[in-house]
Amino acid sequence: MSEKVVIVTGGAAGIGRATARRFAAAGARVAVWDVQGGEGDIQTVDVTNAAAVEEAVAAVVARWGRIDVLVNNAGILRDHQLIKWKDDRKLAEMTEKDFDAVVAVNQKGVFLCTRAVVPAMIAGGGGAILNASSVVGLYGNFGQTNYAATKAAVVNMTKTWARELGRYNIRVNAVAPGFIATEMVTAMPEKVLQGMVAHTPLGRMGKPEDIAEAYFWLASDAASFITGTVLSVDGGLVVGT
């Protein structure tokens, strides 16, 4: 991975930060994109804005001459039941605003970043695109209509792009994390955290570094014949439920 040029979206915290660190530790040149600040060299990029994404890609190519790996990690949550019903009346619902916000980042953002990066990868002779899905995208989850829909979409975009881009030596794969102990997750109530662990056969939540290692391996030459796959990194969560 030495000297390879890597873009990590949503890289200011959590899984994204661990992923950026993993590639940097191996000698890669890492461009971290995020809408918020953080440690290190971070470009402020809104992945839902096509012009901003194209400009950021151009900046990476101008700086380092190529792009070898894209990790589409940026994502948000806006959880709510489709309809919350009690005593014969509707109490609440998932809003259109929250649905659209999650689709914009988790699905459209992956599309925009990948579309912008592919020409540079083709010019450079190939590359690896890694997309953040989720076990929720494979099996659904209570209160996550919007999130689950986007993560399922990512799986199918991954498989489609693997078919389209293989001829250019571009591999496209996805990772489907289970419960991962990011800052956002560990801020949840202790009872919720215990429930997550109870449903994971390995008896713990994953660490951001567990997902970073999966991304790193899929981007490496060790995975050179792997494309169009979804790697679940979930401690056996699906089996456990």
pLDDT in tens, 188-236: 888 888 988 988 999 999 999 999 999 999 999 999 999 999 999 999 9
Q: Which two three-digit tokens encode residue 2?
A: 């030495």
Query: Any bridge partners for residue 71, and if so which?
Result: 8, 130
Phi-psi region of 117 (alpha: psi -120 to 50; beta: other; left: phi over 0): alpha
Structural domain harbouring 107: 5-240
Per-residue pLDDT, 240? 54
27-56 per-position pLDDT tens digit: 999 999 999 865 556 899 999 999 999 999
Please state the domain count of the chain.
1
Quote the CA–CA distance of 18 and 41 in Å, as a whole number: 14
CB 82 within 8 A of CB 99: no
Residue 147: active-site member? yes
CATH number of the CATH domain containing 90: 3.40.50.720
CB 58 within 8 A of CB 95: no
* Backbone dihedral angles phi then psi of residue 233, each to the nearest 5 degrees: -125, 85
89-128 per-position pLDDT tens digit: 999 999 999 999 999 999 999 999 999 999 999 999 999 9
pTM above 0.75, yes or no: yes
| Residue of 139, 147, 168, 215 marked catalytic | 147
